[in-house]
Amino acid sequence: MDNNLVFKLNFDDFNHLFKISGLRGNNLSPFKTDIEQSTNENPSKFFQELLKSDSLQEFSEIILEPDLVVNFKSGGSISEKDYYQVFFSKKHSKIIAQFKNSENQFINILFKNFNNFMSWWSDLYCSIGQEGYNNIISGNQELETVICFFAGLDFYKRASLESMLEYNPQINNSIYINDFLDLIKSSLASADTRWLLPTLFELNQTLKKQQISLQPKHLESLKNLGFFTTIQNNTITLSNLGQAIGVEFLTNWLGAIGIEIITTIKEEPVILAQAFLTATAFTNHLILITENNDNYVLNYQTNTKNEVIINMENLINNYWQGTEINIDSEQIKFCGECGEKILIAKKFCTKCGALL
């Protein structure tokens, strides 16, 4: 693993880590000091490996007093749900990814640097991706537009499966609008990550706090983009291009991952940025999510693997190595599109969603 180190630890081992390192911890770390317990419990045999390591102190500082934490929640398609955290410190170039195994032990991968981490991460979650992939939807979109887009792809999958069960080679690409809206409602309520739309909300659960307001303009927007051919007689019909993307997800969907970037403002954990990545054999669908007064703007991109790496490096590095965020500071800039005041650390306008 390119000289990356792996340490297995039990939960109680972190109390000993506090004692040995002399650190107090912070609100970003999932571990809190309990010195009294650490004097009563012996460290595990795994802890001895960490004690022998030259990386003991920096390991302690990164995981007990991180400056930035990125939460990753994966799932979708036929893949199992998984959750892990990655810890960053401005003092160190190394990074720790932490998982829990089936025995509730913590598996900690200490990556040599950010490039090593991104190489490992992208191999897990990205396809190579085609250059010049022709996607229907791109740029800033309202959440409801993406909901209708994903629901349309799920509808194609449903119609395909139904045609197979009926031994019918013809796939019905049309659906009544009211039935389509009912499918969306049932889909969101199901939390079934075998389908694309519920996966978006299960892996980025803060999206659930937005009041969803589906309107004719959201379907009309997708028609204008070429996803639907017609919206008439209370019926919508998928275009040939819409069906092609439906086939892409039906046959080549590789799963998805939700991303939350978190730091502290006034000592309280705050989500700074979110993203959703879902890969197929053809491309990587990357959505960068920004919030404005409990409403979300979704910047939709289709990327090659290298483009995903660049986008994720820029997004994470902006908060990890960028200017420290202070909610009371005068460190602001202005959006070139709408003039909104924005913290320097932001990558997207929180009002209009424009890329900064």
The confidence score (pLDDT) of residue 336 equals 64
Contacting residues for 273 by C-beta, under 8 A, at least 6 apart: 260, 261, 288, 289, 290, 315, 319, 347
- Whether residues 211 and 188 share a domain: the answer is yes
Tally the domains of the chain.
3
- Whether residues 105 and 191 share a domain: the answer is no
Top pLDDT among 350 and 270 is at 270
- Whether residues 226 and 303 share a domain: the answer is yes
**121, 151, 185: which is the final residue of a domain?**
121
Top pLDDT among 32 and 159 is at 159
- Whether residues 161 and 289 share a domain: the answer is yes
Top pLDDT among 305 and 209 is at 305
Q: Assign 243 a pLDDT band (cuts: 50, 70, 90).
A: very high
- Whether residues 305 and 333 share a domain: the answer is no
- Whether residues 226 and 276 share a domain: the answer is yes
- Whether residues 149 and 240 share a domain: the answer is yes
Residue 339 domain-assigned?
yes
Q: Assign 3 a pLDDT band (cuts: 50, 70, 90).
A: confident
Residue 61 domain-assigned?
yes
- Whether residues 279 and 335 share a domain: the answer is no
Q: CA-to-CA distance for 245 and 230, rounded, in angstroms?
A: 17
The whole-model pTM stands at 0.87
**Strand order in 235-238's β-sheet?**
174-176, 235-238, 228-232
Q: CA-to-CA distance for 145 and 137, rounded, in angstroms?
A: 9
- Whether residues 138 and 60 share a domain: the answer is no
- Whether residues 151 and 267 share a domain: the answer is yes
Instruction: Answer yes or no: are the C-beta atoms of 349 and 335 closer than 8 Å.
Output: yes
Q: Assign 190 a pLDDT band (cuts: 50, 70, 90).
A: very high
Top pLDDT among 339 and 190 is at 190
> What pLDDT digit, counting tens, does each position of 90-107 carry?
999 999 999 999 999 999
Residue 174 domain-assigned?
yes
Which residues on adjacent β-strands are paired with residue 325?
none
Residue 95 domain-assigned?
no
Q: CA-to-CA distance for 143 and 255, rounded, in angstroms?
A: 20
Q: Which domain holds residue 34?
A: 5-67+100-121
The confidence score (pLDDT) of residue 337 equals 65
Residue 136 domain-assigned?
yes
- Whether residues 154 and 272 share a domain: the answer is yes
The confidence score (pLDDT) of residue 195 equals 98
- Whether residues 226 and 190 share a domain: the answer is yes
**57, 88, 121: which is the final residue of a domain?**
121
Residue 50 domain-assigned?
yes
Residue 92 domain-assigned?
no
